[in-house]
């Protein structure tokens, strides 16, 4: 089982910023102390305050029972996503200690919030930490955490950026095929994970597999092809963003022979594709240098940037505006050399799994705050 020191970082100032951006997860539970919330709670179970908040934001024109049931489903999607992350990145004993319980039906919004506030009040029989009932405080926090997860899951489910990526991935790949005209396919030997090399319109050789000269994936999907809520939640919390401002739902990777070819490909993107503007969010990650994404391994060399190719989506074609034929959908480009690719395949420190584990361990204290859990753990 992991220790307190292993679970919680010494430098935790960044967590305050996460709670500022996502206040439902703040262990001070200030949300259930707000005047309008307190008034709605005092009105009791006849209040429609919380139902209306969700209905007006996400589920319009639906009966109370439908709104409540759909929100329970959203809360449980979030809870399942967090549990999956816990059991993926922690040992079984630690994971079982932090496993979240799903919210059960029938469900009543007002009763849920009344219970959360009552537990919070009961936990504070005194104002000194030594007199706080942390078991009751945890019960209140669990309800607010579930509420916050449900709200964010609905944000993800109804985000145009997420929906665009899901609907138009094939059209995006078609655009790259048209732009680069991969041809003259030849077999290559002794490169792990790569089987063929292709010529391109850009006069740069690209390494891939027989059917896929470039690797591409929907970062919002898991290995089973389902929406990866956990991965999106990690980005939302650690980057302080929401789905509509996350620009790398779709990722495309080019592998070229060496750094000279990598620089040549970058120049092609700059001159032929983004000729009028700079490459968006351009980053060059060099071996041995610190990178702003503290979860990335510093030995992983690559170039990354965002482009927004014009995609002939059905929505654009069906538009009432005759001149609207395309939608510009953000795509994250990553360019690696063969050396960097081989390093990634051999070095576990730059492996995607290790990267995700580092992300999760930084994300963990935001949903399992030390201010509450250290007192719960110490009793066990």
- If asked whether residues 268 and 311 sit together in one domain, one would say yes
**In this structure, is residue 322 part of a structural domain?**
yes
Per DSSP, the three-state class of 39 is: helix
Distances (CA, A) of 139 to 18, 119, 171: 21, 7, 47
Task: Count other C-beta atoms under 10 Å from residue 361's C-beta.
Answer: 17
- If asked whether residues 165 and 152 sit together in one domain, one would say no
**In this structure, is residue 369 part of a structural domain?**
no
Per DSSP, the three-state class of 332 is: strand
**In this structure, is residue 222 part of a structural domain?**
yes
Out of 115, 131, 157, a domain closes at 157
**In this structure, is residue 374 part of a structural domain?**
no
Of the listed ranges 102-116, 162-176, 225-239, 336-350, the least confidently predicted one is: 336-350
- If asked whether residues 174 and 237 sit together in one domain, one would say yes
**In this structure, is residue 362 part of a structural domain?**
no
- If asked whether residues 9 and 85 sit together in one domain, one would say yes
- If asked whether residues 170 and 111 sit together in one domain, one would say no
Out of 157, 179, 197, a domain closes at 157
**In this structure, is residue 357 part of a structural domain?**
no
- If asked whether residues 79 and 31 sit together in one domain, one would say yes
- If asked whether residues 223 and 145 sit together in one domain, one would say no
- If asked whether residues 167 and 152 sit together in one domain, one would say no
**In this structure, is residue 355 part of a structural domain?**
no
| Tokens of residue 314, six digits | 């059905």
Higher-scoring residue by pLDDT: 260, 1 = 260
Query: For residue range 254-312, what is the model confidence (pLDDT) as tens digits?
Result: 999 999 999 999 999 999 988 777 899 999 988 655 444 444 444 568 999 999 999 98
- If asked whether residues 275 and 319 sit together in one domain, one would say yes
Rounded to whole angstroms, how far apart are CA atoms 101 and 41? 24
Going by pLDDT thresholds of 50, 70 and 90, the confidence category of residue 341 is very high
Rounded to whole angstroms, how far apart are CA atoms 58 and 167? 20
- If asked whether residues 280 and 222 sit together in one domain, one would say yes
| Tokens of residue 258, six digits | 């060496």
- If asked whether residues 300 and 194 sit together in one domain, one would say yes
The whole-angstrom distance between residue 241's C-alpha and the CA centroid of its chain comes to 9
Q: How many domains does the chain have?
A: 2
**In this structure, is residue 352 part of a structural domain?**
no
Rounded to whole angstroms, how far apart are CA atoms 19 and 7? 18
Out of 99, 122, 157, a domain closes at 157
- If asked whether residues 119 and 219 sit together in one domain, one would say no
For residue 284, the enclosing domain spans 160-346
Q: What is the CATH number of the domain that holds 238?
A: 3.30.460
Of the listed ranges 62-71, 186-195, 258-267, 291-300, the least confidently predicted one is: 291-300
Query: For residue range 105-136, what is the model confidence (pLDDT) as tens digits?
Result: 899 999 999 999 999 999 987 566 568 899 99
């Amino acid at each position: 089982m992991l220790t307190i020191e292993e679970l919680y970082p010494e430098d935790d100032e960044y967590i305050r910023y996460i709670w500022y951006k996502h206040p439902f997860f703040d262990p001070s539970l200030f949300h259930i102390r707000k005047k309008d919330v307190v008034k709605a709670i005092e009105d009791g179970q006849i209040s429609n305050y919380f139902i209306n908040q969700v209905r007006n934001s996400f589920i319009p024109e639906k009966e109370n029972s439908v709104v409540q049931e759909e929100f329970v489903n959203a809360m449980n999607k979030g809870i399942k996503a967090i549990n999956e992350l816990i059991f993926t990145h922690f040992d079984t004993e630690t994971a079982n200690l932090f496993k979240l319980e799903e919210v059960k039906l029938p469900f009543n919004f007002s009763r849920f919030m009344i219970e959360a506030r009552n537990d919070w009040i009961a936990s504070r029989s005194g104002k000194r930490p030594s007199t706080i009932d942390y078991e009751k405080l945890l019960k209140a926090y669990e309800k607010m955490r579930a509420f916050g997860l449900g709200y964010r899951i609905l944000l993800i489910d109804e985000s145009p950026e997420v929906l665009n990526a899901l609907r138009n991935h094939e059209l995006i790949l078609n655009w790259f095929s048209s732009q680069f005209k991969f041809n003259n396919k030849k077999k290559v030997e002794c490169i792990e994970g790569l089987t063929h090399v292709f010529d391109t319109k850009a006069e740069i050789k690209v390494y891939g597999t027989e059917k896929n000269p470039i690797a591409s994936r929907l970062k919002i999907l898991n290995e089973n092809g389902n929406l990866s809520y956990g991965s999106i939640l990690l980005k939302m919390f650690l980057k302080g963003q929401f789905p509509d401002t996350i620009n790398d739902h779709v990722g495309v990777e080019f592998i070229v022979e060496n750094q000279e070819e990598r620089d040549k490909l970058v120049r092609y993107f700059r001159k032929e594709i983004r000729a009028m503007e700079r490459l968006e969010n351009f980053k060059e990650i060099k071996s041995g240098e610190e990178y702003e994404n503290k979860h990335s391994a510093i030995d992983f060399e690559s170039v990354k940037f965002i482009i927004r190719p014009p995609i002939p989506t059905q929505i654009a074609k069906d538009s009432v505006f005759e001149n609207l034929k395309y939608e510009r959908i953000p795509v994250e480009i990553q360019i690696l050399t063969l050396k960097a690719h081989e390093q990634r395949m051999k070095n576990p420190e730059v492996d995607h799994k290790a990267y995700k584990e580092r992300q999760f361990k930084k994300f963990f204290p935001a949903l399992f705050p030390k201010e509450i859990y250290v007192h719960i753990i110490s009793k066990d």
